[in-house]
Homo-oligomer: A and B are copies of this chain.
Amino acid sequence: MVDIPYSAVDRIIRKGGAERVSKSAIEVLQKELEDYGITIARIGTEIASHVGKKTIDGDTISLAIRKKKLGSG
């Protein structure tokens, strides 16, 4: 099941400079963004759990993004 609407992904691709966007481009980027988001959320959930927090907040997500980019997540 996908969560990010087709139209949102289409707009994002056009913001990147594309004039014409195929359906397959939208489908591939949609899946990538969802997978990436779930990975970040999973890292964030582990961090929160580690420090005994039940709520994921922006600071935790920011830390999860940094960990992911460092390849340590």
Q: Which residues of B contact A37 (CB under 8 A)?
A: 9, 12-13, 16, 29, 33
Are B41 and A12 in contact (CB-based, < 8 A)? yes
Total identical chains:
2
Contact A56 B20, CB 8 Å, known A36-B33, A62-B28: yes
Are B65 and A42 in contact (CB-based, < 8 A)? no
Q: Which residues of B contact A55 (CB under 8 A)?
A: 19-22
Q: Which residues of B contact A60 (CB under 8 A)?
A: 25
**Who on chain B is nearest to A10 by CB?**
B3
**Who on chain B is nearest to A48 by CB?**
B18
Are B28 and A41 in contact (CB-based, < 8 A)? no
CA distance in complex: A37, B11 (Å): 10
